[in-house]
Structure 1
Amino acid sequence: MVFVRSVMSLSRGRSRLVVTGVLTGLLLFLPGPAAQSASAPDVPPRGSAYMGIGVLAHDGRASGPDATPAPARANQIEGVDVSSHQGNVAWATLWGDGVKWAYTKATEGTSYTNPSFTQQYTGSYNAGMVRGAYHFATPDTSGGAAQADYFLKHGGGWSKDGKTLPGVLDIEWNPYGGSCYGKSKSGMVSWIRDFVNRYKSRTGRDAVIYTATSWWTECTGNYSGFGKTNPLWIARYASTAGTLPAGWPYHTMWQYTSSGKTVGDHDRFNGTQDRLQALVNG
């Protein structure tokens, strides 16, 4: 304002020119409709993440989201994964459509539990499916061992009852911030190791690792050290499962779409029924 008043003391013609120039300059810095509507990407509330949230936002754009996969082979068994977003699931309908196994989100970090867990976990069991639980990892909030303990405390355990699949570590793009949760590649590998080691020590089972190849490459440096112990659940919404992360010669499960029947996320177990049962029994 001081600058505008000072130029007004000059001759009328010059003051009009300068003031106009000042106003024009100010307008350049005032947000117009486009600038006002532009904002940071929406960040979902903590706890709302689900298996595949990062695939839709990243890999989906590259490979074509929900591309039609090749027809299921006789040695591929249909499964689904669910979270609180699905609420009460029509398990009898899914069973009638040939779905034989299911995973339910149990926990996220060390503060979130799925409010629909009981209906989803026991409902799939009562429908005749083998089922298990998964944990959505947030490596920026607490350690891997702590999150494994929280998972085990809230539904992620395993029992040799012939119907329970081993727990899953869902490790993928961070929906709340930077892709790799602020961790170096070696730091991420250490975090994952802490989680799976704690799970193994408390259950006797090796946790399944759910991930996408491009995230694994970006955030672990394509580390190959888990392939001999932890089954791989690969995420890719395309016609094939594609290239796998280093260390895994084959995938155990494949999440191939987010727009399947009854619930969106559908998966295929890479083997026959007896191999699925072998995974259940450990």
Structure 2
Amino acid sequence: MRTRLALAATLSLAVIGGTTAIATATPPTPYRDGNKLTPAAQSFTKVTRDTQWKLTRKVRLDFPTYHPQGFALAGDLIFMSSVQIDEKPEKYPEPVDGYDRSTGKGVGHVLVMTREGKLVKDIVVGEGTMYHPGGIDFDGESVWVPVAEYRPNSQSIMYRIDAKSLQVREAFRHRDHVGGAVFDRSSGKVHGVGWGSRKFFTWTQKGDLLRSAANPSHLIDHQDCDYAGAGNQLCSGVTELPTADGGKYELGGLALIDPATDRIRHEVPFPHFSAAGHAVTRNPVALETQGSTLRLLAAPDDAEEASGTDLLVYEATP
């Protein structure tokens, strides 16, 4: 989202070929006010279950998108993390060396594209069995990208990608699965979530672990989070629930979280679905504002699904 779920940049609209295209006229300005929520987060606090969201744009991504994971908005560019799964991990009958499944095989990608859906660069990230990127965040200069093994209780590498040069450098490593990262612009700390967001982490920028705590909320598994101002973060995700006929249902939702206390300040479901039947907040999500309009960008579907991957844009006026 990114800053995935909360870039404070004001957007201008241009009409191209009769369709409304989202564009920015100037580079993003880093949001550094540690005492206020970002405009997107402020607007989000007014969202309720009665808020009317309208799908205003659908952009087909005509390049390999694999299994999208996270968004980071950086001016005119959208960074989207994604995992190419060549061999799915297999569950063991019994744990092996503390793991419940194999590593599988794959390739981690950060796909840099324009807001019109044109691919600028495919950046490969990861190392060995660590090939699964998670939720990502833009700090005003760099995009923070965690890449982990595709299994719980494993290991991860945290990368930083310069948003201008697109150069990649390793920030630190962590002995656990990290499924998402947020850079806290008020404190300079890095926050993260574990497998299924059941754990919350806080590190220094060099990777010194400052805090690890259990997620007190069991409603939504947070997939993608962004800095939201005043030390907070906006998160999106899904929970897969059984239906009465033995099927499965994805409950999508959004939450504003204070990572210092793990307190959820505001939370709402997002009852909209993609062409493939997924909750829109399944994986990559970003929130931003233009005037009184709150805009949500998402890409919930995989390349291998019949519908392919679309960049979906929803708007609401809370």
Same fold? TM cut 0.5: no
Flag the structure with higher helix content: 1
TM normalised by structure 1 equals 0.30
TM normalised by structure 2 equals 0.28
- The structure with the largest alpha-carbon Rg is 1
Flag the structure with higher strand content: 2
